[in-house]
A and B are shown apart, each in its own frame.
Chain A
Amino acid sequence: MSGSVIPTARRLLASRLFLTLCLAATTIAILLLGALLVSIAIEGLGSLSWRFLDSFASRKAAQAGIKAPLLGSVWVCAICALIAVPMGIGTAIYLEEFAKRSRIKRLIQLNVSNLSGVPSIVYGILALAAFVRFFGMGSGDEPWTLGNPESFWYLQCPLGPSVLAGGFTLALVILPIMIIASQEALRAVPQSLRQGALALGSTRWQVVRLVTLPAAMPTIMTGAILAMSRAIGEAAPLLVIGGFLLVFQTPTNLMSDFTVLPLQIFNWAGRPQEDFHKLAAAAIIVQLVVLVAFNSIAIVIRQKLQRPLQS
Chain B
Amino acid sequence: MTSFAARSAGEIAQRGRPHSPLRRRWSEKTIRAILFLLTLLTVVTTVAIITVLATETYGFFTLAGHPEISLWGFFTGEEWSPLLGAEPMFGVLPLVCGTLLVTAIAGVFALPIGLLTAVYLSEYAAPRTRTILKAALEILAGVPTVVYGFFALTFITPYLLQPLSSGFGAYNAMSAGIAVGIMILPIVCSLSEDALRAVPQSLRDGAYALGSTKFDVSAKVVVPAGLSGVIAAFLLALTRAIGETMIVALAAGGLAQMTANPAAQVQTMTAYMVQIFLGDAPAAGIEYKSSYAVAFTLFLITFALTWTGAIVLKRYREEYE
Contact = CB atoms under 8 A, between A and B. Distances in A.
Contact of A114 (B46, B145, B154): B46
Interface string B243-282: 1111001100000000000000000001001100110000
Contact of B142 (A12, A95, A270, A291): A291
B172 to A, nearest CB: 16
Contacts of B135: 295, 299
A189 interface: no
B61 interface: no
A304 interface: no
Nearest to A208: B31
A36 B124 contact: no
Contacts of A110: 310
Given A119-B245, A130-B48, A179-B42, A11 B213 contact: yes
Interface string A120-150: 1111111001100000000000000000000
B242 interface: yes
B221 interface: no
A111 interface: yes
A292 interface: yes
Given A14-B213, A87-B41, A119-B243, A111 B46 contact: yes
B38 interface: yes
Contacts of B213: 11-12, 14-15
A240 to B, nearest CB: 5
B43 interface: yes
Interface in B178-221: 182, 185, 189, 213-216, 218-219
A229 B145 CA distance: 12
Interface stretch (B3-11, B64-72, B73-81, B298-306): B298-306
Interface in A203-232: 203-205, 226, 229-230, 232
B175 interface: no
Contact of B136 (A15, A30, A91, A93): A30
B231 interface: no
A122 B27 contact: no
Judged by DSSP, the binding face of A is helix
B246 A262 contact: yes
Interface residues of B, number: 85
A291 B143 contact: yes
A11 B213 CA distance: 7
Given A25-B112, A122-B243, A295-B139, A232 B144 contact: yes
Contact of B250 (A12, A35, A266): A266
Contact of B24 (A18, A124, A203, A287): A203
Judged by DSSP, the binding face of B is helix
A39 B157 CA distance: 13
Interface string A93-119: 111001100000000101111111111
A32 interface: yes
Contacts of A230: 142
Interface in A163-218: 172, 175-176, 179, 203-205
15 contacts: A15-B215, A22-B117, A22-B119, A111-B42, A117-B306, A119-B298, A121-B245, A126-B49, A230-B142, A266-B149, A269-B146, A269-B149, A291-B139, A294-B142, A295-B142
Interface of B: 24, 27-28, 31-32, 34-36, 38-39, 41-43, 45-46, 48-49, 52-53, 56, 112-114, 116-117, 119-121, 124, 133, 135-140, 142-151, 153-155, 159, 182, 185, 189, 213-216, 218-219, 236, 239-240, 242-246, 249-250, 270, 273-274, 277-278, 292, 295, 298-299, 302-303, 305-307, 309-310
Interface of A: 11-12, 14-15, 17-19, 21-26, 28-30, 32-33, 35-36, 39-40, 43, 87, 90-91, 93-95, 98-99, 108, 110-126, 129-130, 172, 175-176, 179, 203-205, 226, 229-230, 232-236, 239-240, 242, 244, 262, 265-266, 269-270, 277, 280-281, 284, 287-288, 291-292, 294-295, 298-299
